């Protein structure tokens, strides 16, 4: 597919999250406080409603902005605003690039990662969504700008999934999972898993 649009991507992401909700709840329960599934599912439901409400010919960056404000302004927890910051940067990069392109995706991922780290202070290896987003951003930056968007998403998804898997091996040092010590070992981080879903949704 080369006809990934911001709207198809975000709707596919929403479907994937709603399908995975129970699994994400279980992961956050094993190593956090159990609300991740509800938080992120609530967020994508708001996003779907906001997408439905959007005018027919909305520009790609406006579509992504709608997701950003759904996450930032209507969803609490840790994950809500962090994903919101990421969408905000995707929207800005898309506006800048004049379209939802591979270059915009790459630039948005890097800027989003930076924003998330500024606010949340997590490094790679702390067992957070940064462990998935950082390699995904790297993979996207390494792609030529003319890579088809769906291929770029696929590359990012591969890197994110690998990053997410790596979170199983470590103790968390950030977020709620940091309190549970060795209980978190063997459990992948739900935020990192969701970053994988986000990129896979564009393929």
Partner 1 sequence: MSPYFAASPDALVDDALAGFALAHADLVRLVPDPGYVTAVAPAPTRVVGLVSGGGSGHEPLHAGFVGAGLLDAACPGRVFASPHNRQVYAASKAVAGPGGVLHVVKNYTGDKINFAIAAERLQHDGIRCARVLVDDDVATDSADIAVGRRGTGATAVLEKLLGAAADTGADLDALVALGERVVAGSRSIAVASAAHTSPATGAPAFDLPAGEVEYGVGIHGERSGRTRPLGEVADLVRDMTGELLGSLGLAPGERVIALVNGLGRTTPMELYGIHRHFAAALADRGVVLERVLVGSVVTALDMRGFSLSATRTDDGLTALWDAPATAPAWKA
Ligand X SMILES: Nc1ncnc2c1ncn2[C@@H]1O[C@H](COP(=O)(O)OP(=O)(O)O)[C@@H](O)[C@H]1O
Q: Is 17 among the residues that bind ligand X (CB under 6 A)?
A: no
By CB under 6 A, tell whether 134 contacts ligand X: no
CA 157 to chain centre: 10
153 is an interface residue for Mg ion by CB under 5 A: no
Is residue 25 at the binding interface for ligand X, with CB under 6 A as the rule?
no
Which x/- pattern, by CB under 6 A, does the window 86-105 give for ligand X? --------------------
Work out how close the CB of 158 gets to ligand X at its nearest, in angstroms, rounded to a whole number: 19
CA distances from 26 to 6, 29, 30, 31, 89 (A): 29, 5, 6, 9, 30
Distance CA 100, CA 105 (A): 7
Using the rule CB under 6 A, is 42 a contact of ligand X? no
Q: Which does 44 bind (CB under 5 to 8 A by kind): ligand X, Mg ion, partner 1, none?
A: none
Question: Is residue 122 a contact residue for ligand X (CB under 6 A)?
Answer: yes
Task: Tell me, by CB under 5 A, how many residues bind Mg ion.
Answer: 5
Q: Which does 129 bind (CB under 5 to 8 A by kind): partner 1, Mg ion, ligand X, none?
A: ligand X
Q: Which of residues 29-58 bind Mg ion (CB under 5 A)?
A: 32-33, 35-36
**Per-residue b or e along 101-137, where b marks 16 or more CB atoms closer than 10 Å to that residue's CB:** bbbbbbbbbbbbbebbbeebebebbbbbbbbbbbbbb
- Yes or no: say if 180 and 31 are a contact pair by the CB < 8 Å rule: yes
The H-assigned helical ranges of the chain are: 6-31, 36-53, 60-74, 79-97, 102-120, 130-141, 149-166, 190-200
Q: Which of 78, 94, 102, 147 binds ligand X (CB under 6 A)?
A: 78
Residues of this chain that bind Mg ion (CB under 5 A): 28, 32-33, 35-36
């Amino acid at each position: 597919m080369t006809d990934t649009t911001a709207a198809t991507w975000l709707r596919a992401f929403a479907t994937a999250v709603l399908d995975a909700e129970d699994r994400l709840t279980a992961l956050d329960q094993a190593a956090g406080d159990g609300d991740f599934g509800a938080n992120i599912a609530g967020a994508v439901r708001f996003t779907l409603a906001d997408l439905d409400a959007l005018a027919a010919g909305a520009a790609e960056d406006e579509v992504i902005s709608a997701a950003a404000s759904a996450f930032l302004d209507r969803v609490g927890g840790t994950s809500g605003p962090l994903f919101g910051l990421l969408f905000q940067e995707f929207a800005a990069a898309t506006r800048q690039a004049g379209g939802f392109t591979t270059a915009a995706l790459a630039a948005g991922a890097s800027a989003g990662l930076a924003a998330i780290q500024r606010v949340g202070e997590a490094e790679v290896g702390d067992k957070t969504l940064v462990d998935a987003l950082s390699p995904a951003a790297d993979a996207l930056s390494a792609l030529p700008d003319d890579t088809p968007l769906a291929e770029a998403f696929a590359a990012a998804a591969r890197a994110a999934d690998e990053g997410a898997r790596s979170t199983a091996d470590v103790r968390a040092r950030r977020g709620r999972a940091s309190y549970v010590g060795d209980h978190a070992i063997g459990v992948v981080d739900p935020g990192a898993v969701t970053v994988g879903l986000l990129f896979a949704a564009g393929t």
